[in-house]
Amino acid sequence: MILAATLARYVARRFLGATFAMLAGLTLLVSLFDFIELLRRAATRPDAGFALVATIAGLRLPFVALQILPFAILLGGLLAFWRLTRSSELVVARAAGISAWGFLSGPVVVALLFGGLGTAAISPLSSAMLARAERLDYAYLRASAGLTALAGGRLWLRQADRGLEEQGVAILSGRPLSDRGEGRGPGFSMTDVTLWRLSEADRPLARIESPEARLLPGRWVLSEAVTFNADRSAGPKQTLTFPTELTPDRIENSFASPDTLSVWALPGFITVLEAAGFSAVRHRLHFQSLLSLPLLAAAMALLAAAFSMRSSRRGGVAQMIGAGVAAGFALFVLDKVANEFGEAGTLPVYLAAWAPTIAGLLLALALLLHLEDG
């Protein structure tokens, strides 16, 4: 019993070192390609220098690490178990009567800790840094309008406004009607609306207050609107039209990306989003995916063991390791396909988020049972 526990700790240390090295290497490699892509996009932006691009790429590092974590565990596990098998350490241990289930407990615990840290700690850090990176990206590298936020039940929209200045900006705030689309036509409406018209330097030019604003193709229609000029003088109530490039679909699709919200903030945001009458399927799916990450990490560790503990003297080790890598990518493709079906409403959110993880875990257990007891 003491020998099995000692071996489990030893294997866990080897697994931890290989996984951490693989995670760091893959993260830096992917971030390098991301950095090169940002440099390409910044080449046409005179106000986006090298320091800005490096800042955006650095802020995206935790997000990249979180996305790569399951593959790092798989590849790190394949490397660690292959080295242990090549040196005959696992062969001697199994010949001494130690079951594979005994010494695999250490790597599984390490994988669960990796997944738990990813969900509970890396996710909040990643979401905060990614949100900052996306704000810089929108401000300096993208020309699209329509930054959107939803907080306290109020919707905040940002768009271009060339009516008073060529490079002006308009910010709208209001409460979206939860009965959107139910007998109100194809438009989109908000109540208790405030519209700020700002200069390029964010200097206030005018403010418009309206009890209701309706989004029609190419324009906002503000009923009983009162315009307050820069000198605070108020105009009469009237119906105003305000040009826009926004559409109801663009507003819904431009909400805060689920990746910019931590696992702790997602439940509250989902509640606010659904109370405003919008779909929260993407956010629910991301939340369940974060919850399933520890189990997915454990499945990857077991999958790595199942494909790399074949004795080198029996041959076919390279084919087995290649099959393990292929199985990991197949699981990745299955996860993406399930997510697409989940976002489309074809699959329930829980099934779309958990089915690939459970499938990978069952595959790993079946292979290990065949290897150990078959």
Q: What is the pLDDT of residues 178-233, one digit of tens each?
A: 544 444 445 688 899 999 988 878 788 889 999 999 988 888 899 989 998 877 78
Q: Establish how many alpha carbons lie within 13 A of residue 22's alpha carbon, considering only the half-sphere containing its beta carbon.
A: 20
The whole-model pTM stands at 0.76
Q: For residue 353, give the amino acid letter.
A: A
Convert the pLDDT of each residue in 305-351 to its tens digit. Answer: 888 876 555 556 677 778 888 888 888 888 888 988 888 888 899 99
Distance between CA atoms of residues 234 and 228, nearest Å: 4
What is the per-residue pLDDT for 3? 61
Convert the pLDDT of each residue in 41-84 to its tens digit. Answer: 888 887 778 898 999 999 999 999 999 999 999 999 999 988 88
Convert the pLDDT of each residue in 79-105 to its tens digit. Answer: 998 888 888 777 777 666 676 677 788
**CA-based nearest residue to 253, from 144, 160, 102:** 144
% of the chain exceeding 70 in pLDDT: 85
What is the per-residue pLDDT for 63? 94
Asked whether residue 295 carries a pLDDT value surpassing 70, the answer given is yes
Q: For residues 161 and 182, is the Cβ–Cβ distance under 8 A?
A: no
Collapsing DSSP to helix, strand or coil, 224 comes out as strand
What are 251's two structure tokens? 């507003």
201 Cβ contact list (under 8 Å, min separation 6):
none
Sheet (strand 219-229) strand order: 147-151, 154-160, 169-176, 188-198, 204-216, 219-229, 238-243
Q: For residues 281 and 345, is the Cβ–Cβ distance under 8 A?
A: yes
Give the relative orientation of helices 317-344 and 281-291 as an angle to the nearest 10 degrees: 150
**CA-based nearest residue to 89, from 33, 168, 163, 14:** 14
Distance between CA atoms of residues 310 and 88, nearest Å: 10
What is the per-residue pLDDT for 275? 62
Distance between CA atoms of residues 150 and 256, nearest Å: 8
